[in-house]
Chains A and B, each alone.
Chain A
Amino acid sequence: MTDVSYRWGRAGFGLAVPQLQVAAGETVLLLGRSGSGKSTLLSLICGTVMPDQGRIDVGGADLCTLSAARRDRHRAEYIGLIFQQFNLLPYASVTDNILLPLRFAPKRRGRVSGPLHEAARLCAALGIDEALLAARAGSLSVGQQQRVAAARALIGFPQLIIADEPTSALDAASQETFLSLLFDQARTHNSAVMMVSHDARLAPMFDRVLQMDDIAQTLPPPPQKMRSATKPEHNA
């Protein structure tokens, strides 16, 4: 990510990221208080938000040069995502949830020889009881759901796994178990993990810890000469 800047609307606050790089297989913790632009940064990396200028390379392609459809496809192919919570389609089975990204990523699907078998293997590795595979995702506990979300992010082993405070709904002991299980799987397949959090206690587990304030700078709104129409504000 080079010389990236982004502004919410035409007159909102901006975010500038001069340089950010994550190597293959690396685990990075990005720390920042709320409102520091963490979520926006993730949206930029995932390609759901386009920067005003700069270059974002993910998996060897500059996102800014891709069409919206190609960016969606690119995200499916190269990035596994884990949210804070509510990761899963509650009405679908655990297996269907895990296999969902493969539906939109043919290359990633190609890397998985037996999808059902691979889903079961990941579940076993992440400590999800095999009996739960056919269960509705909504019936699982929050901790189990986060592990299913991790399995979903890991399947087909994308280059980059992005986790947006995935452990905030878990207690301290579960947090560490969750992360070590996630890292084990990611390292085996050389996937990089980039996790965003405001909680510095997890820092020792990561290869590298970045402070949001060090890598990015929030920009004040530009001085206004004319009243300009503003786009709906992003609540980042």
Chain B
Amino acid sequence: MIIRLALGSLRARAVTVVMTVLAIALSVMLFLGVEKVRTGAKTSFAETISGTDLIVGARSGSVQLLLYSVFRIGNATNNMTWQSYQDILARPEVDWIVPISLGDSHRQFRVMGTTDAFFQRYKYRSGRGLELAKGTLMGDLFDTVLGADVADALGYDIGDPIVVSHGLASFSDHDDLPFRVSGILQKTGTPVDRTVIVGLRAIEAIHVDWQSGARMSSATTPEAVIRQMELEPKAITAALIGINSRLQVFGLQRAINEYPQEPLLAILPGVALQELWQIVGIAETALLAVSAMVIVTALIGMMATLFSSLSERRREMAIFRAMGARPRVIVGLLVLEASLMSAVGAALGVVMLYGGLVVAQPMIDAAFGLWLAIAPPTFREGIVVLCVVIAGAIVSAVPAIRAYRASVADGMMVKI
């Protein structure tokens, strides 16, 4: 009966109660939403590259190798020779190997020379492959495939010409040998979006007349002649390796790291990604702090609502007291009411979040390449929701204690 009365009392104050519940629902939704974005970003990041067992490059640090080979950030300190590449390819553990050659750029985007195998072997987000949004893969030596962001930012379409610049921020262009856009990739949310992909041989081709980073002024080899050349690279920047059996990964890694002819480094991408996330992860903490504050705000809002309802409810309290209710019952009523409101608010917030996710998931993926998994709430999220309900009850204790004092002082006689 007491619960029925409490519900009746809530119903009688429907508007304020609904507003409070909505505030709590919104903040819970926001918190869980931020949490989803956070974990989504983390998994997206961790799955920037998948299906690749090892990344090999010249010896440097593992994070550095990951940064330049996968994220196209920073530069390789050194290249690895084509001979080393051939030697690794020849090893029995190796299933496939994709060479990567970096160093040139187009406007603000990096140019990556690779083979067609890259498009089959590069996987992200648990095994998803690259797909063309339009056009085809490189058919001609001077064809290029653009990442989604490149095409979007520079407004390129199939058939447009592209001039590659030498180096990353230089004024010397490979303008004698322009490329033609043959394909544009779909958005992936990975650094591939910001990459201009050309053939490995094309990288050699545009550097035929170059030596030590400068064009030799004397000779200009005609394009027709270049097309006839072997164009085997002397060195590459890095290579992605897939192996036959997972068990061999550490053996191969050790073998590469101890490769006698050249100092090389092989890394496990997953491990290096985790190391890198520890650096990037500060943003994660900031996000958490923001969403926690959102919840605190909503709880304070609820406390304010309860406080403001107290004066209009003194009469109600006095009636309960007169009927023999102990002050404890009155405290209990208020706490029960607040717990109900925060529980309903939290539940509503969860429902709103999942409803919103269903609607927004494809849009967010298309716009930001961020995949927000629609999974049941994690244990951690469940705990947070539970904490909101408990915090609601605790917060309501402040106005409840005030009501207790008031009802002890008022007794049953409320003077109006």
Given contacts A86-B315, A88-B319, A91-B11, contact A235 B415 (CB under 8 A): yes
Contact of A81 among B1, B12, B316, B412 (CB under 8 A): B412
User: Could you tell me if B324 and A73 are in contact, using CB atoms closer than 8 angstroms?
Assistant: yes
Q: Report Cα–Cα, A48/B326, bound state, in Å.
A: 10
User: Could you tell me if B8 and A72 are in contact, using CB atoms closer than 8 angstroms?
Assistant: no
- Quote the shortest CB–CB distance from B101 to chain A (angstroms): 76
List the B residue with the shortest CB-CB distance to A91: B12
Contact with B along A55-88 (1 / 0, CB 8 A): 0000000000000110011011100010100111
Query: B409: which A residues are within 8 A, CB to CB?
Result: 232, 234
Scan residues 143-202 of chain A and give those whose CB is less than 8 A from a CB of chain B.
152, 164
Contact with A along B1-18 (1 / 0, CB 8 A): 110110011011000000
Query: A232: which B residues are within 8 A, CB to CB?
Result: 409
Contact with B along A93-126 (1 / 0, CB 8 A): 0001001110111000000000000000000000
Query: B1: which A residues are within 8 A, CB to CB?
Result: 96, 99-100, 103
- Quote the shortest CB–CB distance from B10 to chain A (angstroms): 9
- Quote the shortest CB–CB distance from B290 to chain A (angstroms): 39
Q: Report Cα–Cα, A173/B325, bound state, in Å.
A: 34
Binding site secondary structure of chain B: helix
Report if A142 contacts B (CB, 8 A).
no
List the A residue with the shortest CB-CB distance to B409: A232
Q: Report Cα–Cα, A42/B415, bound state, in Å.
A: 14
Report if B413 contacts A (CB, 8 A).
yes
User: Could you tell me if B321 and A69 are in contact, using CB atoms closer than 8 angstroms?
Assistant: no
User: Could you tell me if A96 and B323 are in contact, using CB atoms closer than 8 angstroms?
Assistant: no
User: Could you tell me if B416 and A43 are in contact, using CB atoms closer than 8 angstroms?
Assistant: no
Query: B11: which A residues are within 8 A, CB to CB?
Result: 91
User: Could you tell me if A104 and B323 are in contact, using CB atoms closer than 8 angstroms?
Assistant: yes
User: Could you tell me if B8 and A101 are in contact, using CB atoms closer than 8 angstroms?
Assistant: no
Query: A211: which B residues are within 8 A, CB to CB?
Result: none
Q: Report Cα–Cα, A76/B329, bound state, in Å.
A: 13
Q: Report Cα–Cα, A131/B300, bound state, in Å.
A: 43
User: Could you tell me if B319 and A72 are in contact, using CB atoms closer than 8 angstroms?
Assistant: no
Report if B322 contacts A (CB, 8 A).
yes
List the A residue with the shortest CB-CB distance to B321: A48
Query: A72: which B residues are within 8 A, CB to CB?
Result: 321, 324-327
Contact with A along B96-137 (1 / 0, CB 8 A): 000000000000000000000000000000000000000000
Report if A90 contacts B (CB, 8 A).
yes
Report if B161 contacts A (CB, 8 A).
no
- Quote the shortest CB–CB distance from A51 to chain B (angstroms): 14
Contact of B324 among A86, A104, A164, A234 (CB under 8 A): A104
User: Could you tell me if B326 and A77 are in contact, using CB atoms closer than 8 angstroms?
Assistant: no
Query: B323: which A residues are within 8 A, CB to CB?
Result: 76, 81, 100-101, 103-104, 152
Query: B263: which A residues are within 8 A, CB to CB?
Result: none
Query: B167: which A residues are within 8 A, CB to CB?
Result: none
Query: A81: which B residues are within 8 A, CB to CB?
Result: 322-323, 412
List the A residue with the shortest CB-CB distance to B328: A69
Q: Report Cα–Cα, A103/B4, bound state, in Å.
A: 12
Query: B320: which A residues are within 8 A, CB to CB?
Result: 100
Given contacts A77-B324, A100-B323, A104-B325, contact A91 B8 (CB under 8 A): yes
Q: Report Cα–Cα, A42/B9, bound state, in Å.
A: 28
User: Could you tell me if A164 and B413 are in contact, using CB atoms closer than 8 angstroms?
Assistant: yes
Contact with A along B312-347 (1 / 0, CB 8 A): 000110011111111111000000000000000000
Report if B233 contacts A (CB, 8 A).
no
Contact with A along B390-416 (1 / 0, CB 8 A): 000000000000000000010111111
Query: B8: which A residues are within 8 A, CB to CB?
Result: 89, 91-92, 96
Query: B12: which A residues are within 8 A, CB to CB?
Result: 90-91, 138
Q: Report Cα–Cα, A72/B411, bound state, in Å.
A: 10
Q: Told that A48-B411, A91-B12, A99-B1 touch, could you supply 7 new A-B pairs with CB distance under 8 A?
A: A43-B413, A72-B321, A75-B324, A89-B5, A96-B8, A100-B1, A101-B324
List the 3 closest A-B pairs by CB distance, nearest first: A76-B324, A48-B411, A91-B12
- A-B contacts, 10 of them at CB < 8 A, read A43-B411, A68-B327, A69-B328, A72-B321, A72-B325, A72-B327, A81-B323, A89-B316, A92-B5, A152-B323
Contact residues of B with A, CB < 8 Å? 1-2, 4-5, 8-9, 11-12, 315-316, 319-329, 409, 411-416
